[in-house]
Chains A and B, each alone.
Chain A
């Protein structure tokens, strides 16, 4: 469906606030769940897990779109440290609510949203411009221009 979307068309998704606030930025999307402790580098904001789609990529300043959390209970502490180190995601959009995902979002203190009316992992692609208005439960997706995509 994304191929039918022209650049600058906006897609609106509705969901539930996890952490309030409004932020916008470039999307970084993965269909892999994320480990905090042992899965990310808290000084660089990068994913380090060996068999992960985003291995080596940084979510610092991005809108992180992911299915949810997995692994160690150190998840929240590591996302907490990304904030203290200034390399946290600008906002979070995730699918599966768990205690790790919730607490991680709370202590990251970035706007976060879940329970969306469309699957964010298929609607949003890496590089799209995404505005997360968590207070109102709205995600606004501006598709990246396809010419740009082709050039990359």
Chain B
């Protein structure tokens, strides 16, 4: 790979051992990709927290050891200086306030807080959410980013028109210390053009339908770039947040275009930018049913746990749930957890939404989700969720069956303890 003079200086240790390790990782990674050079970035979203059981042993050696091994792929422990690029922490495994309800051992909760204090002091902003774009990190069109979190990456590329690949813990760790990431994939304009044309033949409007469309689409196109036309109503942040998370779970979609909606495609022609579609796909009632059936693996209608807020809920979603449960009580046999970024939880608290949900017997969580934490309420046998992403991952991560449906289906399940959803 071609390096600039500054990058060579970083590599030879002139700026300290951590940055040399960071450039070494970026070079190994760039060469593996076949990248010709690095590109400057000043927007990094990564995973720096020490909140999992497997990190316990490393934490004993200190947080420099944690960052060296897990964020720089360096067994040699190097002292970690302050971040060079603007950097934020994505979702973590532990809710700093509700960790007891999650069932997290106390030592891990203490460990996460200590890690946050340490890494916060190095300039890593503790947003602690999978949706940094909801709480102040909103990159502009064309901005080169180094983001993890597949649901955030697809949003960043497609909805905001900023440029990132799906980075990992090690590459974001290296990018934060150097302000560099391989110039490859979606950093390069030609790679952002559409590959597949998708005709949506059924109306797609509510959140569940956006989730079903995304889940079906991801499995078909995998990591290609679909261009969607047809009977979709004007989407919102919330709907595209769900759609992207679903497409990035069943497949590896990092970029899509909805001509007339997303910023790099005023028209279908512009979305393809001269590319010929490699395939034309149709999404109709049969495809919608396939996605629904693939997401619903539960058979037992008694529901113990209702999970809402993946990707983390917008404030409007918290308000909607609060309105649905206001003055009611959830079933004594069922637990309801609602997830939203901590910054938005502050607003929800101020507005009284948190009280409305907790008075009904629910919990408003931040910083985490059941898939990341690998924790559901003790004794959970059946889960219900409005998130295609959680419905995809929870059966594998927790080994539990899941119902997938609308927010209303899920709130009804929380109130009655039974699943009465279904495909309308």
Closest to A51 in B: B294
Known: A49-B396, A50-B395, A80-B170. 19 other contacts (CB 8 A): A33-B222, A38-B393, A48-B397, A51-B294, A71-B248, A72-B149, A74-B47, A74-B169, A76-B168, A76-B169, A80-B70, A80-B169, A96-B223, A99-B166, A99-B184, A100-B168, A104-B168, A106-B25, A107-B168
Chain B nearest CB, measured from A54 CB (Å): 12
- Asked if A100 meets B396 with Cβ closer than 8 Å, knowing A72-B150, A73-B150, A106-B73, the reply is no
Cβ contact of B28, chosen from A48, A96, A106, cutoff 8 A = A106
Q: Contact check: which of B33, B169, B185, B223 meets A77 at CB < 8 Å?
A: B169
> Are A69 and B252 in contact (CB-based, < 8 A)?
yes
Q: List 19 A-B contacts (CB under 8 A).
A: A16-B34, A18-B32, A33-B252, A38-B371, A38-B396, A42-B54, A50-B297, A71-B252, A73-B149, A74-B148, A76-B169, A80-B169, A80-B170, A81-B54, A99-B166, A99-B185, A103-B167, A105-B32, A106-B32
Chain B residues packing against A (C-beta within 8 Å): 25, 28-29, 32-34, 47, 54, 69-70, 73, 147-150, 153, 165-171, 182, 184-185, 222-223, 248-249, 251-252, 294, 297, 371, 392-393, 395-397
Residues of B with C-beta under 8 A to A73 = 147-150, 153, 166-169
Nearest B residue to A85 via CB reads B54
Q: Which residues in A have their C-beta under 8 angstroms from that of B47?
A: 74, 77
Which residues from 65 to 90 on chain A have a C-beta closer than 8 Å to any C-beta of chain B? 68-77, 80-81, 84-85
Q: Is A112 an interface residue (CB 8 A)?
A: yes
Contact of B171 among A38, A48, A70, A103 (CB under 8 A): A103
Main secondary structure of the interface of B (DSSP, over half): helix
* Distance of B71 from chain A, by nearest CB (Å): 9
Residues of chain A at the chain B interface (Cβ within 8 Å): 16, 18-19, 33, 38-39, 42-43, 48-51, 68-77, 80-81, 84-85, 96-100, 102-107, 112
Shortest C-beta distance, B378 to chain A (Å), equals: 21
Assembled-state Cα–Cα distance A77/B397 (Å):
16
Closest chain A residue, CB of each to CB of B402? A50
Known: A33-B222, A73-B153, A77-B169. A97 touches B34 (CB 8 A): yes
Query: When the two chains form their complex, are residues A103 and B252 in contact, meaning their CB atoms are under 8 A apart?
Result: no
Least CB distance from A76 to B in Å reads 3
